Chains A and B, each alone.
Chain A
Amino acid sequence: MFLRATLALLLLALPARAEVQVQTVTSPGGVTAWLVEEPSIPFVALELRFRGGTSLDAPGKRGAVNLMTGLIEEGAGDLDAQAFAEARDALAADFRFGASRDAVSVSARFLTETRDQAIDLLRQALIAPRFDDAAVARVRAQVLAGIRSDARDPDVLASRQMDAIAYGDHPYGTPGDGSEESVAALTRDDILAAHRGALARDRLYVAAVGDISAADLGLLLDRLLADLPAIGAPLPGPVVPALTAGVTVVDYPTPQAVAAFAQPGLPLDDPDYFAAYLVTEVMGGGGFGSRLMTELRERRGLTYGANAWLANADLSAELAGRFATSNATAAQAVDLLRAEWARMAEQGITAEELERTRTYLTGAYPLRFDGNAQIARILVGMQMDGRTPDYIATRNDRVNAVTLDQANRVAARLFRPDALRIVVVGQPEGVGSTN
């Protein structure tokens, strides 16, 4: 390896500790939230997640939760879309709404000075969205435009193909935005039903970071959330990705082929999860020194970037990755990927890689906790993953506890050349669909 041991070893100091003081708050009305008080800047970042997201779409109503989410801010209570936006702007508040396959998310920022008015306005949006016909038509057109764009984006096409193979008829198998046909057919009643089913208190996770006390947060949450339905739509069950070894080529005229690859992964609560996380980092972590970056980019110049990661969703677990390379070099890059997969399964990682990756992961962890909005996102994600607040203080110990023997046993268990599906979108030379 190019890493010179001298400098790196010389400077291995203790990593910074994550100094995040999380309080668990339960409101008088029974809403629980994680709070980090940070009074130095006069605003609050509030993050809400409703578990379920687009996976709650009723049969034949694909895209309903996504369209509903896009409409939350387009008029509420007495305010039409324009009036709502004017009120929000006058308060200098910032609300964002998103729908993923696992959650509907609400990200709000509001100034201390106008906190109460901002919460009243956000409450209107959550409790009493109008779904006016004009707004539905407008947002539906935006969603359809996005669907049409996605249909010509090689990156998206690769993901779509992989999901279809892995998940078939499960909600994870099709895009949460829906299809042109399904979105065109959605009615206002469908949107109302999606709203009732997705935004309920039985699936709610809350984090707040900023200039607010625990007592004030409790009152605020009751005002904001008390009138939401108690129980929402049933969540779909977990699914094992049906991924088998082979290549699927999606013919698309583009100068550069996009390769997405995936195989079954490990759930978050698997005893081997941290070892799996560590060996996956060695294979395709975010930095420049991973095996995939070294073999495909640094040594051969075949790609601008190549990554692999553990893709854990609420209902499935994958080990996934991606790179893009010229059609002319796609066969070479695919061969290299497979060779690295096999090498990892057979030989695992070295003691030096283990040490370097442990140091990186434990050093990088505290650096994530940077900024109120960012910390609020992390805290709400931890709740959805079933963590407790003490996870922040103990997470690095779990990474450090991974031994070389465990890492290599898990590398052999996790990396499965016999289950690695590679989807290539483009016109790759010398690469054809295998089965």
Chain B
Amino acid sequence: MFRSLALALTVALPAHAQQVTDFTLDNGLQVVVIEDHRAPVATHMVWYRVGAADDPRGKSGIAHFLEHLMFKGTATLAPGEFSATVEAQGGSDNAFTSWDYTAYFQRVAADRLDLMMRMEADRMRNLRLTEEEVATERNVILEERNQRTDSDPGALFSEQRRAAQFLNHPYGLPIIGWRHEIQGLTRQDALDFYGRYYAPNNAIVVVAGDVDPRAVRDLARAHYGALAPTPDLAPRVRPVEPPQLAERRLTMADPRVAQPYVVRSYLAPAREPGAQDRAAALTVLAQLLGGSGPTSVLARALQFDRQVAIQAGAFYDGTAVDHGSFVVSVVPVPGVSLDQAEAALDQVLAEFLDRGPDPAALDRLKIQLRAQDIYSRDSADRLARRYGEALTVGLTLDDIADWPDRLQAVTAEDVMAAAREVLDRNRSVTGHLTRADDAKEAL
């Protein structure tokens, strides 16, 4: 009954409805405008094509540290004045750092865009830092690491697995940095990194909301147009990952762990400009295997049929410059060991590789993916993030616009080819997180 209805739906839904335009200034700054006129609000984001994977060796955390320091002063703004000014407009502002990008954003009434651009343009080139500010902010970051990583065994475990996943590529570094390296980061380290990477030809501005693209162009020219580019900016070439020939396994025990689990990550291809089909197939594969809800292959097999798992999932992240990752995880029910859970997981994966996807499940998934296009238009903010992220890893607006069609075009055969390629234990890290007292019992 639902099948025929579903097929009708696929045909009827509009494919692309966002109004997205872009232009590039003479100094190399790309500006993307996403129109949404439902409310008089705008999000202004500046994305830099630099992140933790660009941290110089021995200085892990510098990209993230600089992100914090960008809220100190410039020649014309006192320390803290940036955020204070945004708040005086009723707006909110913040920033985030990933391996491939660093982004700054403000959400304001749409008629405050002029001021936001003026301030972002100012701090793109005119940051000023004192030794005292740097020392205090270093302590803030150590507390951030305390709070988000060191107080959370799951976060520590993830950090260890990531370090094991990459033999040579700096994706193995934590974004926040290793504690001992954060402690050694200096004002000069921050300024060197800033001077090189914070420039209009290494940045993308995304404006989303109740704005007129022509007005945005005028404002961008006025504020960003005069900024000097960094002349000899090298392409983003990171140390290359050698062939991975041996699977890695690690076990971490921590007394704070309440719920043991097993996670395996596989090195995976990323979305590539003009060639997103493999990534599209991996996205569909991850959804089929372990997307949300009880109908995924892993949930059905491990939670419903065998009843060995409290939770089972799969996830693919392919929006990256160099490598994506494909992750599967199982949280076993009490009485089932991590070894048993992993064995059950491997059995389900083997069966899937043998049988292939259920055609009805693939149909349903495509309807959901199509509907996501509609639901995603409800948040201009989230759209802005999606565009910024994709563009900073080297994808184009055409790639972004094409992505829903790439997903719809995925066949069962594509899914199987992707699965056979990615599920290679030699390129994987399998981690067991256990409670410390469990580990002792195991001895």
A15 within 8 A of partner (CB): yes
- Residue on A with the closest CB to B2? A90
CB contacts (< 8 Å) of B294 on chain A: these are 74, 81-82, 85
CB contacts (< 8 Å) of A41 on chain B: these are 17, 374, 377-378
A90–B107 alpha-carbon span in the complex (Å): 35
Given contacts A2-B80, A16-B41, A90-B2, are A301 and B139 in contact (CB under 8 A)? Answer: yes
Number of interchain pairs (Cβ within 8 Å): 226
A16–B112 alpha-carbon span in the complex (Å): 10
B12 within 8 A of partner (CB): yes
Q: In the complex the two chains form, is A303's CB within 8 Å of B143's CB?
A: yes
Interface readout for B43-74 with A: 1 if CB under 8 Å, 0 if not?
Answer: 00000000000000000000000000001000
CB contacts (< 8 Å) of A305 on chain B: these are 147
A391 within 8 A of partner (CB): no
**Of A98-106, A145-153, A312-320, A402-410, the one touching chain B:** A145-153
A81–B305 alpha-carbon span in the complex (Å): 12
A286–B88 alpha-carbon span in the complex (Å): 13
CB contacts (< 8 Å) of A301 on chain B: these are 135-140, 142-143
The CB with the most chain A CB atoms within 10 A, among B87, B256, B375, is that of B87
B237 within 8 A of partner (CB): no
A169 within 8 A of partner (CB): no
Q: In the complex the two chains form, is A154's CB within 8 Å of B151's CB?
A: yes
Q: In the complex the two chains form, is B368's CB within 8 Å of A7's CB?
A: no
A157–B293 alpha-carbon span in the complex (Å): 29
Q: In the complex the two chains form, is B79's CB within 8 Å of A2's CB?
A: yes
- Contact of B379 (CB < 8 Å), options: A3, A134, A154, A370: A370
Q: In the complex the two chains form, is B84's CB within 8 Å of A288's CB?
A: yes
Q: In the complex the two chains form, is B92's CB within 8 Å of A286's CB?
A: yes
List 4 A-B pairs, minimum CB-CB distance, nearest first: A363-B90, A301-B139, A92-B371, A16-B109
CB contacts (< 8 Å) of B115 on chain A: these are 11
B144 within 8 A of partner (CB): yes
Interface readout for B164-185 with A: 1 if CB under 8 Å, 0 if not?
Answer: 0000000000000000000000
- Contact of B107 (CB < 8 Å), options: A117, A148, A286, A367: A367
- Residue on A with the closest CB to B255? A253
CB contacts (< 8 Å) of B78 on chain A: these are 2-4
Q: In the complex the two chains form, is A364's CB within 8 Å of B147's CB?
A: no
A16–B41 alpha-carbon span in the complex (Å): 8
- Residue on A with the closest CB to B304? A82
- Residue on A with the closest CB to B256? A152
- Contact of A324 (CB < 8 Å), options: B146, B379, B381: B146
- Residue on B with the closest CB to A305? B147
Count the B residues whose beta carbon is within 8 Å of the partner chain — how many? 80
B38 within 8 A of partner (CB): yes
- Contact of A91 (CB < 8 Å), options: B2, B137, B334: B2
Q: In the complex the two chains form, is B146's CB within 8 Å of A298's CB?
A: no
**Of A25-33, A353-361, A416-424, the one touching chain B:** A353-361
A149–B254 alpha-carbon span in the complex (Å): 13
Q: In the complex the two chains form, is B380's CB within 8 Å of A113's CB?
A: no
A374–B39 alpha-carbon span in the complex (Å): 12
B422 within 8 A of partner (CB): no
A87 within 8 A of partner (CB): yes
A77 within 8 A of partner (CB): no
Q: In the complex the two chains form, is A149's CB within 8 Å of B258's CB?
A: yes
Q: In the complex the two chains form, is B87's CB within 8 Å of A373's CB?
A: no
* A393 nearest CB across to chain B (Å): 15
- Contact of B257 (CB < 8 Å), options: A138, A152, A360: A152
Given contacts A43-B375, A301-B143, A302-B139, are A90 and B6 in contact (CB under 8 A)? Answer: yes
* A39 nearest CB across to chain B (Å): 10
Count the A residues whose beta carbon is within 8 Å of the partner chain — how many? 84
- Residue on B with the closest CB to A9? B88
B221 within 8 A of partner (CB): no
Interface readout for A344-375 with B: 1 if CB under 8 Å, 0 if not?
Answer: 00000000000010011111111101111110
Supplied contacts A3-B88, A8-B85, A356-B87, 15 more A-B pairs, CB within 8 Å: A82-B295, A86-B2, A86-B364, A88-B293, A89-B293, A138-B307, A152-B257, A255-B146, A300-B139, A301-B135, A304-B146, A325-B143, A326-B142, A360-B88, A366-B41
CB contacts (< 8 Å) of B13 on chain A: these are 111, 113
- Residue on A with the closest CB to B110? A16
Give the residues from 318 to 335 in chain A that come closer than 8 angstroms, CB to CB, to chain B: 324-326
Q: In the complex the two chains form, is A4's CB within 8 Å of B81's CB?
A: yes
Q: In the complex the two chains form, is A8's CB within 8 Å of B143's CB?
A: no
Q: In the complex the two chains form, is B88's CB within 8 Å of A356's CB?
A: yes
CB contacts (< 8 Å) of B5 on chain A: these are 90-91, 114, 117
A305–B147 alpha-carbon span in the complex (Å): 10
CB contacts (< 8 Å) of A364 on chain B: these are 90-92
Q: In the complex the two chains form, is B71's CB within 8 Å of A300's CB?
A: no
Q: In the complex the two chains form, is A359's CB within 8 Å of B85's CB?
A: no
B337 within 8 A of partner (CB): no
CB contacts (< 8 Å) of B141 on chain A: these are 304
Q: In the complex the two chains form, is A16's CB within 8 Å of B111's CB?
A: yes
- Contact of B84 (CB < 8 Å), options: A3, A81, A82: A3
CB contacts (< 8 Å) of A3 on chain B: these are 78, 80-81, 84, 88
B9 within 8 A of partner (CB): yes
CB contacts (< 8 Å) of B334 on chain A: these are 141
- Residue on A with the closest CB to B311? A142
* A129 nearest CB across to chain B (Å): 15
A365–B115 alpha-carbon span in the complex (Å): 19
- Contact of A92 (CB < 8 Å), options: B148, B255, B256, B370: B370
A362–B331 alpha-carbon span in the complex (Å): 46
B274 within 8 A of partner (CB): no
Given contacts A42-B374, A142-B311, are A152 and B258 in contact (CB under 8 A)? Answer: yes
A113–B6 alpha-carbon span in the complex (Å): 11
Q: In the complex the two chains form, is A7's CB within 8 Å of B38's CB?
A: no
A70 within 8 A of partner (CB): no
Q: In the complex the two chains form, is A89's CB within 8 Å of B107's CB?
A: no
CB contacts (< 8 Å) of A16 on chain B: these are 40-41, 90, 109-111
Q: In the complex the two chains form, is B143's CB within 8 Å of A256's CB?
A: yes
Q: In the complex the two chains form, is A87's CB within 8 Å of B9's CB?
A: no
B3 within 8 A of partner (CB): yes
- Residue on B with the closest CB to A13? B111
CB contacts (< 8 Å) of A373 on chain B: these are 378
